[in-house]
Structure 1
Amino acid sequence: MTTLNTQAQTNGKYTQVNGIKMYYEVHGSGSPLVLIHGGGSTIKTNFSRIMPQFAKTHQVIAVELQAHGHTGDRNAPETFTQDADDIAELLTQLKINTADFLGFSNGGQTCIELGLRHANKVRKLVIASAFYSRDAVSPEFWKGFEQPDFKYMPQVYKDEYLKIGTAEGLMNMFNKDVERMHNFTGWTDEQLKSITAPTFVVIGNQDLPTPEHAAKMSRLFPKGQMAVLPGTHGSYIGEAYLPKPESKIPDLFVDMVNEFLID
């Protein structure tokens, strides 16, 4: 088990979820919107730019998943199915029957599992910079998981984690994220077609997955929509890896998502 710094942020909370001590934050008021971070990330690295804006119109529930950030680990690999089950259990504990979900990168893949496994809790999904099959990205991407090198993990992710946890915990997170992607098989077209929730697929025009893959994915969802925004993987949400404080694109992203989420 990983030793974590238990000093949470002022508005952060912990609860026991499926055998782990899970960290989450609640901001704002209104209809619930769950923010799900990507691999190697925390709430802060992925969502610090856009979370305050969403909190103006929603009750934002931002989570940190198994082995990430403040949240503990279990003696089992990370899986998108387990992440989805952990989030669903958290919402049950919070007495939230249904919510909207926004997942970035690996968080978008967790959204797919939420749509498949917990459809009764899902009102709408926003899948940002994620993919559902291995052919979405280049073969070189997958080769990187065969002999992973810790030095290629973005330094900003390392620094942010080490404000929270230990060097041992950081390496544990890295290894578990690598293992999950090394074993990634994705989902079938038929599985995506079975997700009935309205789903908004967003991609950057210079993203890791191609816009062509995102277009195919959005068409498989029975109630799918799609947008391509200028930017790289996460830059259009103001993600910490490639920050552009002067950019207005994250504001546009928030406006587009809010319009999608309106009944």
Structure 2
Amino acid sequence: MKSLFNTRNSLKSILFIVMILFGASQSNAQIKPSNSGYAPVNGTKVYYEVYGEGKPLVLLHGAFMTIGTNWGELIPELAKTRKVIAVELQGHGHTPYSDRKLSHATLAKDVVGVMDYLKVDSADVLGYSFGGAIAYEFAIQNPKRLSKLVIISSTYKSTGWLPEINNAFKNMKPELFENSPMKAAYDAVAPDKTKWIPFLKQMMASAGEPFDLGEANVAKITAPVLIIAGDNDGLDKIELAKTYQLLGGGKVADFGVMPKSQLAIVPGQGHVSLMMQTKTLLSYVDGFLK
């Protein structure tokens, strides 16, 4: 009982922090997309926004988030040199709720569908949290469609999170999101606001299911990968180091060739606060993609 109480309090604390940070993100001056709309894919339609010009960069947001709440600070900077394609995944933001089973494989195929619709043959892909897991799946499914991969505070398997995080996933309830910034963001753009609770239940059921995209599959990713994590963001850093090794990292570069993949651990950052380190993230992402 005490463990459940602590879990519920932790979740409420996370929501409170997110409320403050979302407010800071949304107060930032926004730029308007040059193109936006819905791509008909896999029996549903997926909302996208396009900013800037240059080599395509696909952005995949975190759970319960929208393009604006996740990427509001980064898009204006990234779009200065790139064609940024931001996607809202099934049930999120403008993209309607669907009864389709929520799976990493299905959502990764949706991303491919958006790229096909926009006539983008290949792109760099950047995913945060939930979106990072989808980005891993995309890389595994579509090696020829991927140039470079950036993963922020995410993992390709549920055991990549610390036990406290997985316990929190299992104990999430819709009422925890009442009067939250996620609810406000959803109400602002969702095509059918009555789907909020079904959407939450669908996402929570998915979060509570163990998943593993496969060590062997991750090891086969040939594109360069940049992993960015906060030192206290809920990821198991031992497992994260193993992931980096699967991607060719963890070498003694002075004795050989520098690995094409990179790992950055940002000090003094949690899962939510990491996304607000705009200058730090940009320095890593820009340097890696260039």
TM-score, length-normalised on structure 1? 0.87
Seen in structure 2, the aligned counterparts of structure 1 residues 144 and 168 have a Cα distance that, compared at 3 Å, is farther
Paired residues of 2:56 and 2:123 also in contact (CA < 8 A): yes
| Structure 1 partner of 2:273 | 235
Greater fraction helix: 2
1:7-156 aligned at under 5 Å gives the runs 11-153=35-177, 155-156=180-181
Q: 2:209 aligns with which of 183, 186, 191?
A: 183
Residue 168 (structure 1) aligned with residue 194 (structure 2): yes
- The 3-state SS of whatever aligns with 2:94 is coil
1:167 Cα deviation from its structure 2 partner: 4.3
Aligned 8 A contact 1:67 1:172 in 2:
no
- Which one of the candidate residues 151, 158, 161 is aligned to 2:183? 158
User: Highest CA radius of gyration, 1 or 2?
Assistant: 2
Q: Which moved more, 1:101-110 or 1:205-214?
A: 205-214
Deviation at 1:101, TM superposition (A): 0.3
Residue type at the aligned position of 2:182: Y
Tell me the amino acid that sits aligned with residue 257 of structure 1: V
Query: Which residue among 250, 262, 269 is the counterpart of 1:225?
Result: 262
Measured in 2, the distance between the counterparts of 1:227 and 1:33 equals 20
The aligned counterpart of 2:24 is: none
- How far, CA to CA, are the matches of 2:272 and 2:115 in structure 1? 26
The separation in 1 between residues aligned to 2:169 and 2:264, in whole angstroms, is: 29
Aligned partners of 1:153 and 1:122: how far apart in 2? 35
Query: 3-state DSSP class of the match of 1:102?
Result: strand
Alignment check: 8 A CA contact 1:203 1:211 kept: no
- 1:236 is displaced (CA, Å) by 2.5
Give the Cα–Cα distance (whole angstroms) in 2 for the partners of residues 251 and 29 of structure 1. 21
Count of residue pairs brought into register by the alignment: 244
Alpha carbons 1:35, 1:61 under 8 Å: kept: yes
- The Cα of 1:23 is off from its aligned counterpart by 0.7
Name whichever of 132-141 and 60-69 sits farther off: 132-141
Question: Whole-Å Cα distance in 1 between the matches of residues 72 and 210 of structure 2?
Answer: 28
Q: Report runs of 4+ in structure 1 exceeding 6 Å deviation.
A: none
Indicate the RMSD between aligned Cα atoms, in angstroms: 1.8
The Cα shift of 1:145 comes to: 3.9
2:21 is matched with: none
Tell me how far apart the structure 2 counterparts of residues 102 and 146 of structure 1 sit (CA, whole Å).
26
Measured in 2, the distance between the counterparts of 1:225 and 1:219 equals 10
1:61 is displaced (CA, Å) by 0.2
Aligned equivalent of 2:286, options 255, 258, 263: 258
Q: Which amino acid aligns with 2:210?
A: F
- 1:191 to partner: Cα distance: 1.4
Contact 1:200-1:218 at 8 Å conserved across structures:
no
Q: SS state of the match for residue 144, structure 1?
A: helix
8 Å contact from structure 2 (residues 165, 234) kept in 1: no
CA distance in 1 between counterparts of 2:76 and 2:238 reads 31
Q: Retained in 2: the 8 A contact 1:109–1:131? A: yes
1:253 maps to a residue whose letter is: L
Q: Which moved more, 1:158-167 or 1:50-59?
A: 158-167
Unaligned runs of 5+ in 2: 1-31, 249-259
Aligned equivalents of 1:122, 1:224: Cα separation in 2: 14
- Which fold has the larger relative contact order, with Cα–Cα distance below 8 Å and residues 6 or more apart in sequence? 1
Tell me what 1:243 maps to.
none
Deviation by residue 1:6-59 (Cα, 9 ceiling, x = unmatched) = xxx865312211111211000011110000001111111111011110001100
Identity across matched positions, percent: 32
TM-score (norm 2): 0.79
Q: Which moved more, 1:213-222 or 1:63-72?
A: 213-222
* Matches of 1:61 and 1:104, distance apart in 2: 14
User: Contact between 2:97 and 2:195, CA under 8 Å: does it hold in 1?
Assistant: no
